Amino acid sequence: MRALHRNQLVWLSDAAWQQVRARAWDDQAQDILTHWHLQQLPLVVCRQRVPQSTHTLSLGLPAPLQWERRKLALEVADADIERVGNFPLLSPGLLGPEGVAPLQNFLQHLAVLEVPARVYGSYGWQLLSGLPCVRNSSDLDLIIPVPDGDVAGQVVWLLRGLHLACRVDGELQFPDGHAVAWREYAQLIGGKVEQVLVKHRTGVQLSAMAHWQAVPC
């Protein structure tokens, strides 16, 4: 099986979609899957329900508001994947005129660190699907890949200074695919907690500060 991380996007082949839609789904689920197939929309790699499997991949489909934000879980064969990609990059205009200046400043600082910011969650799926997914209470969820703990700390400092109309949430993703919520990482490096929850494609684990200092990412 190819090495895919949590929150990567995959596009299924047409034959795979036909097989998926042929399974026993209720009417609403079938409507969602038909739309996803016809619009050639991606699915997201989630935590693997069969961690040791080398033949199947666990994927998720979080539907837009018109389908009550229903979440579907699918299992597909590795051979069913036609291509792999990522969530959209954060752009200054994502939140409207009031967000342009702070986001532009934030992205300029990230560019100096040579790390991108990608949008997932409600805002990410709205960009991908073109359908309403964002509510008034929706967070702006960001995935920021970082090369090491030092850069992660600098990104946390930038995130703490980013003031927007909505809450900024999300994860720092290290090269091995392990990810930590940036707010938890901020507490760890600030000495407020001794361990943080680390997420990866097959599960979760607790890691202390010594892990990030001693193990090259």
Q: Which of 78, 141, 148, 150 is catalytic?
A: 141
Which DSSP category does 13 fall into?
A: -
User: Taking the alpha carbons of 4, 10, 83, 141 in that order, is the dihedral positive or negative?
Assistant: negative
User: Taking the alpha carbons of 96, 100, 104, 106 in that order, is the dihedral positive or negative?
Assistant: negative
Q: Spell out the SS3 assignment of 52-115.
A: CCCCEEEEEEECCHHHCCCEEEEEEEHHHEEEEECCCECCCCCCCHHHHHHHHHHHHHHHHHCC
CA distance 118 to 141: 8
Q: Which of 26, 139, 148, 169 is catalytic?
A: 139
Q: Please choose, from the candidates 9, 3, 13, the residue with its C-alpha nearest in 3D space to the C-alpha of residue 82.
A: 13
Q: Name the 3-class secondary structure at 41.
A: coil
Catalytic residue at 139? Answer: yes
Q: Give the rounded distance of the alpha carbon of 181 from its chain centre.
A: 11
Reported as type and span, the H/E element at residue 204 is strand 203-208
User: Taking the alpha carbons of 37, 49, 182, 152 in that order, is the dihedral positive or negative?
Assistant: negative
Catalytically annotated residues: 139, 141
